[in-house]
Structure 1
Amino acid sequence: MKITLLQGDITKMEVDVIVNAANTSLLGGGGVDGAIHRAGGPAILEECRKIRDKQGRCAVGEAVITTAGRLPAKYVIHTVGPVWNKGSDEEKALLRDAYQNSLRLAVRHDVKTIAFPNISTGVYRFPKQVAAEIAVAAVTDFLRTDNKISNVIFVCFEKDNYDIYSQLLTQQGTI
C-alpha cells in the first residue's frame, strides 16, 4: 500500500478508479465534477441518471460508482462532500465519510488504484488545510485496516493544495 501525491488533471489518470467531487444531483456541475463529466462523455451522465432514478439523490458523505466512459480509468466513484458552513464536527465527519465510503466502494469493486481530487475545497468552501488534514487522516486510517487497495493517489489541480498535501504527507513520513 502506498500513497502518492501528484499535481495535475485527475481526468488523465490511468488508474482503476477516479473519485468525483460530485453534488447530490449526480448530474454534473462545475469544477472537477464538470471536468470529469466533459472528459468522460455521456455514458457517465447516463449511469448517474439511472442511479438517481433508482435511489434518488446521493446523500452528503455517501458514494456511488459508474463507468468512466472515455476516461482512462475503469470507473468513477461519485462522492458528495459537505458545504463548509461553520466548520462543525458534523461537516468534518461528513467529509471523512466521503473519503472512507469511496474507499469501501472501491474495495467492493476490487479496485487496486484510486485517485482522489480535493473534495469540498472549491465552491463548497471547505478550508484547504482542514480538508487536506481530514483527507489524509481518513485515507491512512482506512489503509491501516484494509490492504486491498495498493495505491491511493491524491491529485491536486492547484499548486497551493499540492503544497498543503506535500507538507502533511512528508510530516507523517508517507512520502
Structure 2
Amino acid sequence: MRAIRVACAALLGMTALTLTAPVAAARDDGERNITSFGFNVSPTTIAAGGRVSLSVNGCKSATKVSSGVFDTVTIPKGQGSATATVDWDAKPGAVYEVTFQCGNESGHTDLTIATGRPSDPTHTPVHRGVKAGVGGSTGGFDLSEIGLGAALIAGSVGAAYHWSRRRAGEHGG
C-alpha cells in the first residue's frame, strides 16, 4: 500500500512539473532580442582594459555598436567584425549592456567585467584556472588531526560492534 502512495506522489509531482514548464519557458520579460541579423560579443566576460571582439552577420548596412563600458564602434557595411577596448575604470563584477544597431533594428547582449586587471591592456587576459593548493595527503599533514580522526572512526566502529552484539544477545536469549 505504501508503494502506491509513493508512486501517486511521484506521478503528481511530475505532472505539476510538466504543466508548469511550458509556462516558465513562455514567460516574457518584455526584452525580446529577436533580430533579422546576428551579433556576438567575445569573450562575454573580460577584465577592465581588455579587448573584446564584436561581430555581426546578416546586416545590410553599417552596424553601430555601443555600450557604457567602451567607445562606440562602427562595423562598416560588408565587414563582419571589429574590436573595442574596455574602459580601465569599468567596475569589476558589473554587467554592461552592449547594443548592436543595424538600420532601424537593434539587439543587445551582456558583457560582464571580471575582477583583476590585465598587465598588458592591448591583449585579452589569459585565464589559467584556479590555484587549488597542494591537495592529497601532503598538504597540511598534521599528526594530531589524523590521530583524532582515527580515534573517532575506531570509537564509531567499536560502538556499532557493541550495540550489534548486545542486540543479538537480547533477541537470542
Pick the structure with greater CA Rg. Answer: 2
More RCO (CA 8 Å, sep 6+): 1
- Give the TM interval when normalised to the shorter protein: under 0.3
Which structure dedicates a bigger proportion of its chain to strand?
2
Which structure dedicates a bigger proportion of its chain to helix?
1
TM-score when normalising by structure 1: 0.23
